[in-house]
Structures are given as C-alpha cells and as structure tokens.
Amino acid sequence: MAQPKVLLLTGYGINCEEETAHAFQACGARTAIVHVNDLISAPQQLSDGQIFVVPGGFSYGDDTGSGNALANKMRHTLWEELMAFVAADRLVLGICNGFQVLVNLGLLPGEADNFFGSRRVALIANSTARYECRWVNLLAAETDSVFLRDVSSLSLPVAHGEGRFYAPAETLLELKQNRQIALRYVDAEEHPAQGSFPANPNGSLDDIAALCAGQGRIFGLMPHPERAFRLSHMPNWPELLALDSDSDWRQPGPGRIIFENAVNYFS
C-alpha cells in the first residue's frame, strides 16, 4: 500500500485536526477528518483507515481531567472497533490531548500481550499548576516506536496544562523493560532534564514525554510535531532569515519525520 489513509478525530473541543491532517497530506497520505459522533454512528469507517489519530485540543474543556470525558465516550461507543483496529497491523497516534485520551482509554501503555483497556498511568496538572506553551528539547529513548525510526533528538513545542506524567514505580519499571518510553525531556545540551523546569515543562516523572505500545504502533506524545513541521515554524526562523535571507520556509522542521515515518510504514 503506497498511500495510507489517515482518519483524524474531531469534535467536542479537539482543535488540531486541520494542521495535523495537513502534515500527513504533505507526507503523501490521504486524510479524512471525522467527527466523533459520525464515527459512532458508522464505526465501520475505522476499518477504512490505516492510521487513526486523536489530535490535540481541549476535549470537553479538560473538565473532569484532560482526555477523560472523551475517552469515556469512546470506550462506551467505539471500543470493539478500536480493538479490531489495533489488532490489525495499523498505527494509532495521540498528540497532546489525544495522548491524554489514549492514556485514559488504556490504549497506552496497555499491558503485556497487547491487552488494552485499563488505566495504568496518568497525565496530571503541570507542576507549575499553569498552562505552558513553550519549545522543549527531546531525546528518543530506547524504543520500538514506528514513529521515531531514525530519530535521536527533536525540538518541538508543548502547549498544555496537564502533561505531568505519573506512574506507580512498578509500572514505570515495566515500561522501561518493555521499551515503551519513547521520548524524554532534555535540556539544550541534551542532558536529562531531571524534572527541572523549563526543560521538563510539566514535572513529568523520569522526564517522560511520550509512550508507545503494541510493538511501537501505538504512539502518544505531549509535544506537537505538527507545529514544528516546516522551517518557518521554528522559533529562531526570523534570526535564520537575518543571516540567510534566501532560507526557504518550506524546508522540513524537526516534527516532520514523525509523520513521514508513519506514512512510510505502509510503503
């Protein structure tokens, strides 16, 4: 299959579906933005897609815990179809609020033998108790994530109020052993952030910014790769231009490779 089809969820406050769809299109995928209620009325649509994305946003305004209300809705209405989707050789991506949804659904991190459905980790209020919109540096951990092939480090923006990763000690150990920790926050010199703000923008345990599951096919991350898709997205773009006025804004930014990896998985 040369051109995978990406289904991107929208509705109830999801708000990054358009730029995320654009990122996939620019990497050669076909995309369809689907309202959650339309998906619930016709859940078989899910099987038409190869990549299922829960984009970033503010589903239900983060009320009752970010991602919780939408995850509840999906669990009651789409669970069987989601399990069938995950069982096939397909990809699931959750960005920011989408990551929070996947965690509340129990799709991340899941349990051994691809058993999904229980909540085992949490993304809770930032340790600053404040919404943080800023660029962070990330280092890929030893991971099987399909989305992070050939990725060692990344610079991406975060924008969230509840991104603090938490897991009980035994779960954390298991995640490490299973190579499910995908990205960690680091400082500008790529040293571990060790929980310190602003390198670790939310106080995440073990500086964890992303998780994967299902042989690396399910991936969730707090940062927004679609917002670092091209050179003009970079925070130093105006200064780059000052030094080289011929810089091309269409050149890839660091987030692009995540979308390319996903699309290329099907080539």
Partner 1 sequence: MKKTTTGHRLEIFYRDAELDTRGRLLQEKLNSLELSTVIEEVRLSEVYTLEGAFSQARLQEVAGLLLNPVVHDSIIDEARPLGLAEVVLEVGFLPGVTDNVAHSAAETLADAWGTPFAADQGIYSSTIYYIKAATLTAEDRRLIGRILANALIQRLDWKDRSTYVADKGMDCIIPRVRLEAGKKISLVDLKISEAELLALGKEGIVDHCDEQGNIVRRGPLALDLPSLAAIADYFATVEQRQPTDLELEALAQTWSEHCKHTIFAASIDDLEEGLYKTYIKGATKKIRQERGAEDICVSVFVDNSGAIIFDDDYLITDKVETHNSPSALDPFGGSITGIVGVNRDTVGFGLGAKPIINRYGFCVADPGDYEPLYRSPGGGNQALRPRRILDGIVDGVRVGGNCSGIPTTQGFLSFHPGYKGKPLVFVGTVGLIPRKTKAGRLSHEKAAMPGDYIVVLGGRVGLDGIHGATFSSEALTGGSPATAVQIGDPITQKKFSDAIVKEARQRNLYSSITDNGAGGISCSVAEMARECGGCRVDLEKVPVKYPGMAPWEIWISESQERMTLAVPCEKWPELETLLSSRGVEATVIGEFTNSGRCQVSYQGEMVMDMELEFLHNGLPAKHLLTKPRPSLENEVSLPESADLPLAEFFTKMFGRLNLASHAYVSTQYDFEVQGGSVLKPQVGRNQVDGFATVVQPLPESSKGVALSQSLYPAISDLDTYAAAATAIDTAVRNLLAVGTPLSHIALLDNFCWCSSDDPERLWQLKECARACYETAVCYGTPFISGKDSMYNDFSGFDSRDQAVTISVPPTILISSIGVVPDISRVRSFAFVKPGDLIYLLGSGGSEIGGSEYLALLKDEGLVTNEARGRVPRFKPADQLSLYTRLQRWVAAGHFRSLYPLAQGGLALAAGKGTLAEGFGCELEIPESERLDLFLFNEYPGRFLVSVSPEKGSMLEKEFVESGVTRLGRVRDDEEIVIIQNGEISLQTTVSTLQTAYRSTFAGF
Closest approach, Cβ 238 to partner 1, in A, equals 4
Q: Kind and range of the H or E element at 154? A: strand 153-160
Asked whether position 61 contacts partner 1 by CB under 8 A, the answer is: yes
Span 174-193, contacts to partner 1 by CB under 8 A: none
For partner 1, the closer of residues 38 and 174 by Cβ is 38
Out of 30, 43, 114, 237, which residue is the one contacting partner 1 (CB under 8 A)? 237
CB-based contacts of 261: which residues, under 8 Å, 6+ apart?
Answer: 146, 147, 148, 149, 150, 151
Query: What is the Cα–Cα distance from 13 to 208, expressed in whole angstroms?
Result: 25
Q: Is 96 a catalytic residue?
A: yes
For partner 1, the closer of residues 90 and 255 by Cβ is 255
Residue 244 burial class via C-beta count within 10 angstroms: exposed 0-12, middle 13-18, buried 19 and up: exposed
Say which of 81, 224, 233, 260 is annotated catalytic: 224
Closest approach, Cβ 248 to partner 1, in A, equals 8
Say which of 132, 162, 226, 260 is annotated catalytic: 226
Q: Are 112 and 81 in contact (CB under 8 A)?
A: no
Neighbours of 237 (CB within 10 A): 15
Region of 53-61, 107-115, 210-218, 257-265 interacting with partner 1 (CB under 8 A): 53-61
For partner 1, the closer of residues 144 and 178 by Cβ is 178
Span 70-109, contacts to partner 1 by CB under 8 A: 72-73, 76-77, 104
Asked whether position 155 contacts partner 1 by CB under 8 A, the answer is: no
Asked whether position 37 contacts partner 1 by CB under 8 A, the answer is: yes
Coil, strand, or helix at residue 231?
helix
Q: Is 226 a catalytic residue?
A: yes
Closest approach, Cβ 89 to partner 1, in A, equals 29
Say which of 96, 132, 233, 260 is annotated catalytic: 96
With b for 16 or more beta-carbon neighbours within 10 A and e for fewer, the 131-169 pattern comes to ebeebbbbbbbebbbbbbbebeebbbbbbbbbbbbebee
Query: What is the Cα–Cα distance from 209 to 157, expressed in whole angstroms?
Result: 12
For partner 1, the closer of residues 88 and 129 by Cβ is 129
For partner 1, the closer of residues 29 and 217 by Cβ is 29
Span 191-220, contacts to partner 1 by CB under 8 A: 203
Backbone φ, ψ for residue 101 (5° rounding): -65, -45
Region of 174-182, 208-216, 228-236, 257-265 interacting with partner 1 (CB under 8 A): 228-236
Neighbours of 117 (CB within 10 A): 13
Q: Are 107 and 92 in contact (CB under 8 A)?
A: yes
For partner 1, the closer of residues 16 and 263 by Cβ is 16
Span 238-267, contacts to partner 1 by CB under 8 A: 238-239, 241-243, 245, 247-249
Taking CA atoms, 45 is separated from 35, 52, 82, 260, in Å, by 11, 11, 11, 23
Four-residue CA torsion sign, 186, 188, 189, 193: negative
Span 113-152, contacts to partner 1 by CB under 8 A: 119-122, 124-134
- As annotated, the active-site residues are 96, 224, 226
